[in-house]
A = this chain, B = another copy of it.
Amino acid sequence: MKGLTLRHLRYFTALAQQGHFGRAAEVCAISQPALSVQMKELEEIAGAPLIERGARQIRLTNLGVAFAERAAGILRSVDDLDGFVRAAQAPFSGVLRIGVIPTIAPYLLPALIRHMGQAYPNLDLRPREAITQTLIRDLGEGRLDLAIVALPVSESGLHEEPLFEEEFVLVRPCAEANAPVPSAEGLLEMRLLLLEEGHCFRDQALAFCTPARVGSREFMEGSSLTTLVQMVGAGIGVTLIPEMAVATETRLADVAVARLPAPRPKRMIGLVWRNSSPMAGQYRQIAEVLRGFGPSAGR
């Protein structure tokens, strides 16, 4: 069918419906000769007679009738594209693959999923939890649309949209609840429990202590904040956790939470996308929604 165009099909289906070149041409808003030429061309392309031409009236051949049905089906699919795009184009609709770091995901995602599911039933939200490195790589390679991580990521080609700042708090065994809050240097004297390598929060917590030279000291490591807090509850040491994790993690643990002295440790949480993405406008709207879920909301 080399050279076949949708125009041919549109005109032909009109002709099939009207059974008359003049009227069909009118329907197509073209002149009768123009339609005549196009139909002749169509039969040439198809390599088969589709139209039975009589002087007073025309009619389709059996093949023409079948062809017209198929053509109508194709045109329907084409016209459906329009509605399809419009539906997908509606804000907060379609697939949205979003990655979140493990020290945010458990505290943000439940509320986010609940909220988005109710507010935007046409949005197919697909969250994933992974460490920053993985998220950034997947984002860059197109396997994610958005990532919620701690800024900065400083990856070329990615846009960073700040969402909110999040402070870190000290978690101690209950027994020490009334002891004075240690300084950054003092923290290193205690047994500090940290997340395992790869988690950005590990580095962020360590950064707070760095002024006092971390050196080669050994720390207990855990693979989740829950683990760390439970270990603190067992009296094994102390740890830092981000503000948003407090409500969830300290509920069932025998621990005390204390704000640290200035300069308080904190991190900036942000939304990241490829700056080549044409959906930036929508992503900014999503950022606005996310700001409503930040720790400032609870303070």
Interface size class of A (residues with CB under 8 A): 35 or more
**Which residues of B have CB within 8 Å of A278?**
49, 51-52, 61
Within 31-69 of A, Cβ neighbours of B (below 8 Å) are at 46-49, 51-54, 59, 61-63, 66-67
**Which residues of B have CB within 8 Å of A88?**
48, 62-63, 66
Query: Which residue of B62, B77, B94 contacts A70 across the interface (Cβ within 8 Å)?
Result: B77
- CB of A142 within 8 Å of the partner chain: yes
Tell whether, in the assembled complex, residue A94 and residue B6 are in contact, meaning their CB atoms are under 8 Å apart: no
- CB of A74 within 8 Å of the partner chain: yes
Query: Which residue of B52, B67, B94 contacts A276 across the interface (Cβ within 8 Å)?
Result: B52
Chain copies in complex: 2
- CB of A95 within 8 Å of the partner chain: yes
- CB of A120 within 8 Å of the partner chain: no
User: In the assembly, what is the distance between CA of A70 and CA of B77, in Å?
Assistant: 8
**Which residues of B have CB within 8 Å of A47?**
85-86, 89
User: In the assembly, what is the distance between CA of A52 and CA of B144, in Å?
Assistant: 13
A193-209 Cβ-contact flags toward B at 8 Å (1 or 0)? 00000000000000000
Binding site for B on A (CB under 8 A): 1, 4-7, 46-49, 51-54, 59, 61-63, 66-67, 70-71, 73-74, 77-82, 84-86, 88-89, 94-96, 142, 145, 157, 274, 276-279
